[in-house]
Structure 1
Amino acid sequence: MSSSRPAHSSSSSSRTRQSSRARILAQTTLDAELNAEYEESGDSFDYSKLVEAQRSTPPEQQGRSGKVIAYLQHIQRGKLIQPFGCLLALDEKSFRVIAFSENAPEMLTTVSHAVPNVDDPPKLGIGTNVRSLFTDPGATALQKALGFADVSLLNPILVQCKTSGKPFYAIVHRATGCLVVDFEPVKPTEFPATAAGALQSYKLAAKAISKIQSLPGGSMEALCNTVVKEVFDLTGYDRVMAYKFHEDEHGEVFAEITKPGIEPYIGLHYPATDIPQAARFLFMKNKVRMICDCRARSVKIIEDEALSIDISLCGSTLRAPHSCHLKYMENMNSIASLVMAVVVNENEEDDEPEPEQPPQQQKKKRLWGLIVCHHESPRYVPFPLRYACEFLAQVFAVHVNKEFELEKQIREKNILRMQTMLSDMLFKESSPLSIVSGSPNIMDLVKCDGAALLYGDKVWRLQTAPTESQIRDIAFWLSEVHGDSTGLSTDSLQDAGYPGAASLGDMICGMAVAKITSKDILFWFRSHTAAEIKWGGAKHDPSDKDDNRRMHPRLSFKAFLEVVKTKSLPWSDYEMDAIHSLQLILRGTLNDASKPAQASGLDNQIGDLKLDGLAELQAVTSEMVRLMETATVPILAVDGNGLVNGWNQKVAELSGLRVDEAIGRHILTLVEDSSVSLVQRMLYLALQGREEKEVRFELKTHGSKRDDGPVILVVNACASRDLHDHVVGVCFVAQDMTVHKLVMDKFTRVEGDYKP
């Protein structure tokens, strides 16, 4: 969804949250519309309508809320399961059955001649006490699950039917007012040595995790290629992909491995509707999803008529897939699938808590993407192996977070370096022409295809930019429509309402603007997104013909390319912040240059030079301090005596120690006792000019964070120097590794539980 916005009317986090909410709401409505169209038209459904729907303005909510609610209700409470297992819903107080799948009586109560002394086999129906169906200790273990707040930690519970002696994995989760239990048959070869089989799964996962951890870092591509290869080896599926969601919700096959002879999807991009928002919500709740056979007939759920609402199957491993998704799978010859959610920390720009949020809910998560496995024939993966895959996905997510942090550090460093260079050029010449005609120039500040400057009623153009007359027309439109704004950013001039957008062609779609004065303006331009996309192989050549009515990944890609013909890549918040900072420096420089010179003698001239030099230094210093304070990584600084004189918002958030409380305290009093000698050595060496890298130490927590345990940081030391190049302090730029350690500790504990 395209959005135009005043560049600096609100904080980065606020802009991102508002944009994301609006996008998700509009996308959910469109998902519901397409679903209704599919359900009503059946085999005559025309998938090419997706193109038209995506290119049009997102539908208004008025008059359509009923359709959206019905769609979400159907997705979550569809009353159908896959036939590879059966389901019971139990009343939490009485432990009696309040709902069951139609295949449950046959699977759980069929009498076997191999089991003697079953004279009066139990009957399964509404009101049956579930203890009557299973032998001890399985029945007791199921009942004990009621006492656990998070019953998922007990999964799987091994139970054995009284009548047949058959073993099942009981996979338990809570739904509103009841306990939902999925039963999956255990292969005879796995029973009773199930624990040993699970241990083998964890050993395989541990091997894959070790490979991921051994990567040097600094390459998201290498990380994704490694995880798809490990999942491919671990699960045996024909195709494994790392599927990444972009900021505008569309998806991309970022990494892939297949068995020989399968058509590759690497590099393909898909519209956001290919994975509906409702499905993404379910992935956040139930992080592993298996479809064993898309052609298998679904099994109905029979519920107690006294229930006021249908039982939610959001957390069920057996929940039947939607008919539209099944058709999509069949068309691409993917009969079975296994999907793992990759859930990461929300973008740092969004980490500011909203006022109404309690502290424990302030750390938000988001769905970065999916690890998707496809198979050309029916395939079942036992629960212990799926659970091991879930752990692998969690560890992968931790490393994705690490790559984000590393990318942000590099990005912020590059932006700061470029801002410093551009500022230096401005201070020397006091004219914006220096940062347009020189090298580097404004195009090096943010990713763009062209730029322009309107200054003193003259126009300077760089690379792919509109003509001079078109730039003047855009400036006039800005003054008429956005006269009160200091800037603007949009990924679609057409969607932003610029009347001349069509005349610019698809090579000029997105634009960011910074006003220096009401008449002097800097412009950055971007081409359409499709220009950034590469076709993933000869079979994806645009000249290929395809059935436009048929749901298939190649058609989805064509639909995506149609959607983005009038859109550029969106302008990120950090890019707009960089533009805003340059805008402030420009305004300050030009204001200083416009002041009348005071040249009344040599002493006055020398005094002016000193003041100007101090003003320049102050401007650069202020900008660097602002960037450090708002950085997305922990940064702290100490003077030559080890007393804290810098403590940014990120380290304050992690430690629970406010900036005003930290300033003036000795650094050694703020670290754990086990880290004192490490920090002491690093501080000593840095004050000698020897800067250590990647030193790990633990920071104490305070206030509301005290019970969370220490913050684990990996730190680079940077010596601070005065004008005479003397070391006067140390700056520590850190990376938070706390979450990574928690995940690995959890993995180690669970692996230990399975050791014989």
Structure 2
Amino acid sequence: MPGRIQAHGFLVVIRPDDFVIVQASENTHILSGIPVQELIGKRVDALLANTNVNGSSLLEIINVALRNRQPDSLNPYRLEINNEPANIILHVHDGALVLEFEPTDDLSNGFLLQQRVAQALADVQASRTMDELLNSAARKVKDLTGYDRVMIYRFSEDWHGHVVAEEKEDHLEPFLGLHYPASDIPRQARELYKINLVRCITDVNQESIPIYPVLYADRKKPFDLTHSVLRAVSPIHIEYLKNMGVQSSMSISLMYRGELWGLIACHHYSPRFIDYPTRMSAKFIAQLLSASLEFRKNEDDLAFWRQIRNQEQVLQEQMLRDWDIKKGLLDHPVTALDINSAIGVAVSLNGEVHTLGKTPSPEQVKDIIEWIKLTSTDTILQTSQLPNLMQGAETYREVASGLLVIELSRELDEYILWFKPERITQVDWAGNPDKPVTVDASGEARISPRKSFEKWTQEVRNQSEPWREVEIATALKLREDILQIINQKANHIRILNEQLRVAYEELDAFSYTVSHDLRTPLSSVKSYSEIILEEYSDELNDDVQDLLNKIIAASDRMTSLIRNILHYSRMGRTELNAQMLDMASMLTILREEIVATEKSRALQLIIKNTPPVYGDHTMVLQIFSNLLSNAVKYTRDKQPAIVIVDGIEHDREVTYSVQDNGIGIDMRQAGKMFELFKRLENAQDYEGSGVGLAILKRILGRHNGKVWFDSEPNRQTTFYVSFPKPVQSQ
């Protein structure tokens, strides 16, 4: 609530340079005995002239806070007001120092708080399951705060909430398992929960206190109370709590990878104040829970990742051994159903649809492919609610509410499709989730808080379990494996033949221009320089001779460059100059060049295993130069930036990975990565043309290799490139 605070405390805003009060809550006369209008413009020592804390005056407290780079890290500052213990909480914001005064409990309870927090840590570590973990955290927060009800409330992808743990007084009706609509906690409120991890409402029936004056200094707007612990709450939220019968509440944010995972929501059915140290102890328990959630989620993801990646490797070996994509995917004990949680898979190849498991009929699969071609240009597509997107898909929603697709060839209708079944759920809402709309006396419509919280059951259909990031990444890797095999088969030439003919004609014209139009004048420049140097050497001073020698050397370098360009332009038609390459030497030189140009950054470029690769030196060098340059570029904002290169030797191929901790890639846009001139949305602020990865993929195609990647936005990206071993070394 802009410009107002809760009534149990006091707020004062001062200028740090001269300690003059510029704003204060209207109830500060209780502290100073001076009307707030007269207090504005006075130094802060006029507020509490006789207030002391451990022998220090209020001015000394402020001086200590201002000398500290993070004054809020020293909160709370203990003092007495009218012989009663109190806390002062300080923070700096918008060029001002904010002082907030709150009552506090008995000063001797610090040891008890430490004991309870230590016990909470032990219980979290001892929890064996997710349910145990959540229930233990709810129980500890209730013991610590004394609220009537403590719930752990988890957000779903659509921001609806679900009560997943609860501790309450015996006489209260349980809320465990109930869902709450996203509109109960709107987007702007969720953004504040990411900034203020703890929010407390002491008494919903108390009138909030205005701040005087309304406008802050000369800025012609109210002071920003984003970081205030006393900030008043939206009247709509107060009305919402009253409708629930709640008179005081506290919420503590639960974070996962920087985003809001859920809340610890505390309710009390009479006014209740929780002092600052107790709130911070509850916050610490929430942070322990958040850290444990992330750790357990990472463990689960890693185990699932290892399982399906091993199966994907088996699929690749089966397809290579059979030299048949359909057989390798569907006709062995390990099938395309073993790389994700789908119940059915359809493979559309050579005009035929082959299915395994529970799937729509082949004709329905063809309808889905036509819908994909009309609605998406991406090479990979996923949804967990196909019946809501595609007309007619409701008829087979029992087996295909979830869809994951990789495109092999749009022209030939060649796709692989995985299906997940409909997950019919009975969602128990805390009242009808639709917000009522009322009309006030002026005739304006107003969204009102819900008044009913009785259990209201809704059946949700047409949806499946969502696809996990690792499932999408593995499907992308499988697509690269399949395309590698297709590229080795002669039937792929019939699609590319016309495109290649045009490209070759343009390439021949380019080669002719370079070899004739550039080489001739370049040879003249070199020849004339040599003639001058030879015929007039006695008349030329040393500086002129040195310049002529440099011209001759530069001409030689340009001639070599033209020769290399011509060689590269013909790479699609000529044999590669393939040999076993010393990757340790190549990568070390690249690292030295990159580190030398990035001296101003905290950059760690780590090279691990470097098995040799069989390939063309110039082209392989270009591949790794491109990958390392991208990794360094997209970690520009990381401190430190970490890039790790590692190689693994397999029976048939050598695979290298280049991992960074940069901006990451949304796997839902993965299909665009290797298309010419395509750039993702989160890379728009970084210099680039969208050509590098397309060229890299073409070079790997010439080597019968492949490239794929997996990524998590804002955490990491790992690109993989693989090179087949030469026949004689197998």
- TM-score, length-scaled by structure 2: 0.61
1:372 aligns with 2:269: no
Contact 2:602 2:639 in 1 (8 A): no
Contact 2:180 2:433 in 1 (8 A): no
Deviations 1:690-744 (A, max 9, x none): xxxxxxxxxxxxx99999899xxxxxxxxx9998xxxxxxx9x9xxxxxxxxxxx
Residue 483 of structure 2 corresponds to: 587
How many Å apart are 1:455 and its aligned residue? Answer: 3.2
C-alpha distance 307-502 of structure 1, shift in aligned 2 (>3 A): farther
Contact 2:104 2:276 in 1 (8 A): no
Equivalent in 218, 224, 227 of residue 315 of structure 1: 227
Residue 151 of structure 1 corresponds to: 71
Name the aligned partner's letter for residue 129 of structure 1. Answer: R
1:82 aligns with 2:6: yes
Cα distance between partner residues in 2 of 1:294 and 1:444: 54
The answer for unaligned runs of 5 or more in structure 2 is 437-448, 493-583, 589-600, 612-634, 643-647, 652-656, 660-730
Q: List aligned pairs for 1:336-485, cutoff 5 A.
A: 336-344=248-256, 346=257, 365-429=258-322, 430-436=324-330, 439-462=333-356, 465-482=359-376, 484-485=377-378
How many Å apart are 1:171 and its aligned residue? Answer: 1.0
Q: List aligned pairs for 1:455-534, cutoff 5 A.
A: 455-462=349-356, 465-482=359-376, 484-493=377-386, 498-501=390-393, 508-517=400-409, 518-527=412-421, 531=424, 533=425
C-alpha distance 138-440 of structure 1, shift in aligned 2 (>3 A): farther
Name the aligned partner's letter for residue 141 of structure 1. Answer: I
Name the aligned partner's letter for residue 152 of structure 1. Answer: D
C-alpha distance 223-595 of structure 1, shift in aligned 2 (>3 A): same
1:160 aligns with 2:76: no
Between Structure 1 and Structure 2, the one with more strand by share is: 2
Cα distance between partner residues in 2 of 1:553 and 1:471: 45
Name the aligned partner's letter for residue 515 of structure 1. Answer: E
C-alpha distance 100-473 of structure 1, shift in aligned 2 (>3 A): same
C-alpha distance 706-380 of structure 1, shift in aligned 2 (>3 A): closer
Contact 1:138 1:159 in 2 (8 A): no
C-alpha distance 432-264 of structure 1, shift in aligned 2 (>3 A): farther
Contact 2:29 2:36 in 1 (8 A): no
Q: List aligned pairs for 1:592-603, cutoff 5 A.
A: 592=488
1:184 aligns with 2:102: yes
How many Å apart are 1:223 and its aligned residue? Answer: 2.3
1:96 aligns with 2:20: yes
How many Å apart are 1:576 and its aligned residue? Answer: 1.3
Deviations 1:272-307 (A, max 9, x none): 332222222222222111112223222222226544
Cα distance between partner residues in 2 of 1:90 and 1:312: 14
C-alpha distance 479-166 of structure 1, shift in aligned 2 (>3 A): closer
Residue 604 of structure 2 corresponds to: 657
Cα distance between partner residues in 1 of 2:203 and 2:94: 29
1:277 aligns with 2:187: yes
C-alpha distance 707-515 of structure 1, shift in aligned 2 (>3 A): closer
Cα distance between partner residues in 1 of 2:7 and 2:122: 36
Contact 1:95 1:130 in 2 (8 A): yes
Deviations 1:387-418 (A, max 9, x none): 11122222222222211321221121112122
SS in 1 for 2:418: strand
Q: List aligned pairs for 1:695-706, cutoff 5 A.
A: none
How many Å apart are 1:155 and its aligned residue? Answer: 0.8
Cα distance between partner residues in 2 of 1:709 and 1:456: 46
SS in 1 for 2:78: strand
C-alpha distance 144-485 of structure 1, shift in aligned 2 (>3 A): closer
Contact 1:507 1:526 in 2 (8 A): yes
Q: List aligned pairs for 1:48-67, cutoff 5 A.
A: none
Contact 2:201 2:250 in 1 (8 A): yes
Cα distance between partner residues in 1 of 2:37 and 2:235: 33
Cα distance between partner residues in 2 of 1:123 and 1:486: 67
Name the aligned partner's letter for residue 382 of structure 1. Answer: D
Deviations 1:432-476 (A, max 9, x none): 255346544333322335432333433344555333332211212
Equivalent in 542, 545, 551 of residue 450 of structure 2: 551
Name the aligned partner's letter for residue 444 of structure 1. Answer: D
Residue 472 of structure 2 corresponds to: 576
C-alpha distance 95-444 of structure 1, shift in aligned 2 (>3 A): same
SS in 2 for 1:516: strand
C-alpha distance 409-481 of structure 1, shift in aligned 2 (>3 A): closer
Contact 1:343 1:367 in 2 (8 A): yes
Cα distance between partner residues in 2 of 1:467 and 1:722: 39
Deviations 1:52-100 (A, max 9, x none): xxxxxxxxxxxxxxxxxxxxxxx5xx11221121211122222122222
Residue 134 of structure 2 corresponds to: 224
Deviations 1:240-290 (A, max 9, x none): 222223344333323222222333333334333322222222222221111
Residue 444 of structure 2 corresponds to: none
Name the aligned partner's letter for residue 133 of structure 1. Answer: L
Name the aligned partner's letter for residue 159 of structure 2. Answer: E
Q: Identical aligned pairs, as a percentage?
A: 27
C-alpha distance 253-443 of structure 1, shift in aligned 2 (>3 A): farther
Contact 2:394 2:462 in 1 (8 A): no
The answer for unaligned runs of 5 or more in structure 1 is 1-74, 111-119, 347-364, 597-638, 644-653, 666-702, 711-719, 724-730, 734-756
SS in 1 for 2:348: strand
Contact 1:256 1:266 in 2 (8 A): yes
How many Å apart are 1:570 and its aligned residue? Answer: 4.1
How many Å apart are 1:595 and its aligned residue? Answer: 7.7
Higher relative contact order (CA 8 A, sep 6+): 1
Which protein has the larger Cα radius of gyration, Structure 1 or Structure 2? 2
- TM-score, length-scaled by structure 1: 0.59
C-alpha distance 130-663 of structure 1, shift in aligned 2 (>3 A): same
Cα distance between partner residues in 1 of 2:432 and 2:301: 42
SS in 2 for 1:577: helix
How many Å apart are 1:378 and its aligned residue? Answer: 1.8
Name the aligned partner's letter for residue 512 of structure 1. Answer: L
Name the aligned partner's letter for residue 91 of structure 1. Answer: R
C-alpha distance 547-401 of structure 1, shift in aligned 2 (>3 A): closer
Residue 206 of structure 1 corresponds to: 118
C-alpha distance 704-456 of structure 1, shift in aligned 2 (>3 A): closer
Contact 1:269 1:557 in 2 (8 A): no
Cα distance between partner residues in 2 of 1:513 and 1:239: 45
Cα distance between partner residues in 1 of 2:11 and 2:131: 40
Cα distance between partner residues in 2 of 1:271 and 1:282: 18
Cα distance between partner residues in 2 of 1:233 and 1:91: 40
SS in 1 for 2:205: coil
Cα distance between partner residues in 2 of 1:251 and 1:148: 39
Cα distance between partner residues in 2 of 1:722 and 1:582: 17
Equivalent in 74, 78, 90 of residue 172 of structure 1: 90
Q: List aligned pairs for 1:328-339, cutoff 5 A.
A: 328-339=240-251
Tell me the C-alpha RMSD between the 2 structures: 4.5
